Amino acid sequence: SELRTKKKDIINGFHCICFFECVDFVLESLKGARVLVTGASSGIGEQMAYHYARFGAQIVITARREKVLQQVAEKCLSLGAQKALHIAADMANESDPERVVDFALEKLGGLDYLVLNHIGPTTFGMWEGDVEHTRWLMKVNFFSYIQMAWRALPSLEQSKGSLVVVSSVLGKMTNPFTLPYSSTKFALSGFFGSLYHELAMKKSNVSISVCTLGLIDTDSAMDKVRGITKVPAYPATEAALNIIIAGATRQLDLYYPWFTQVITLIKDWSPSGGVTLDRSPVCRRATQRHTTMHTHSHLGRI
C-alpha cells in the first residue's frame, strides 16, 4: 500500500506540473493578444488590465472616468503592454456599448478577448418597488453586455477568440437586499450559458467563460459589507488573474474563490440553505442600515 501511495503522489505531482506548464504556455500566448476590458478604471477590471499588460497584450480599457482610465493606461504601458488605449463610455447610453467595441476593433485591428466586467451603481437594501432603477440597471449590467458581445462576435470568430463574462455568486442563488443586482446577474448566466450551446451547435470558434465571483477585496466592496458579514474577502489581483486564465484556457465556468461553487450546490440541495433569514444576525444588521448604503462597486461579488 505504501508503494501504491507513492505512485499516486508521483502521478498527482506529474499532473500538477503538466497543468501549470500548460497554464504558463497559454499565458505566454497572450503576448500581442488584442484585448478589450470593460469596467477597468478600478477594482478587478483595473487589475486585469495590469495582468494583461505584464503578459504583453494590446489593450483597450473602458469605464466612465476618463482621467482615471488615462492613468491606468499609462501604467499598463509601463508594465509592458504593447498598446494601451482608453475610451470613456457610459454603458447606460444606448450607443456607447457598440461604440466602444468599434473603437477597439479599429485601433487593434480585431479582438482576441472581450472581457465584460462593468457594472452600474445600485443600493444595498430591501427592494421598494423602484422599477425604473431596476430597468436602468438591467440596461447597464445585462443589455450592454449582449450588445457588446454581438458586435464583437464576428471578429472573435475570425480570431478563434474568447468572450469572458464576469458575474457573481448572486447570479446563481437568491439573496435578500440585492434584488435588482441579482436579477441582472441571473440574466447574464442564462443568456451566456444558452449562447454557449448555440455557438457549439454552429461549430463556432468562439469560447465563452462565465466567471462567478464571491467577495473580493476591492475598496468599494469592503465599504459595502463592513459590519454586515465576516465572510473572508479574496484579493482582486488573484481574482483578475483567475479570470484571465479562464479565458485563455477557454474554460466555460470559473468559480472564484473555489467554495463559491460549493455554495451554489448547497443551494440546489437545500434552497433555504438551512437559514431562517428574518432571524439571521447578518440580515438584521443589513436591514438596519439598508436605506443608507449606496455604491458604484461590484456589489454582488459577495
- With beta carbons less than 8 A apart as the criterion, state whether 136 and 188 touch: no
Return phi, psi of residue 272, to 5°. Answer: -80, -15
Helices (H) and strands (E) in the chain, counts: 11, 9
The one-character DSSP state at 65 is -
Told to judge if 181 belongs to the known catalytic residues of this protein, a careful annotator would answer: yes
225 membership: H or E segment, kind and range: helix 219-225
**95 half-sphere exposure, CB direction, 13 A CA radius:** 2
End-to-end CA distance of the chain: 44
Spot the catalytic one: 50, 52, 145, 181: 181
- With beta carbons less than 8 A apart as the criterion, state whether 118 and 91 touch: yes
Question: What is the b/e burial string over 96-125, where b = at least 16 CB atoms within 10 angstroms of the residue's CB?
Answer: bbebbbebbbeebeebbbbbbbbbbebbbb
- With beta carbons less than 8 A apart as the criterion, state whether 27 and 243 touch: no
Q: Which residue, 64, 60, 103, 101, is CA-closest to 83?
A: 60
10 membership: H or E segment, kind and range: helix 2-28
Report DSSP letters for 104-140, one per residue. Answer: HHHHHSS-SEEEE-----EE-S-----HHHHHHHHII
128-to-133, 134, 180, 193 alpha-carbon distances in Å: 11, 11, 11, 30
Residue matched to cell numbers 441582472: 184
> Which residues are part of the catalytic machinery?
181
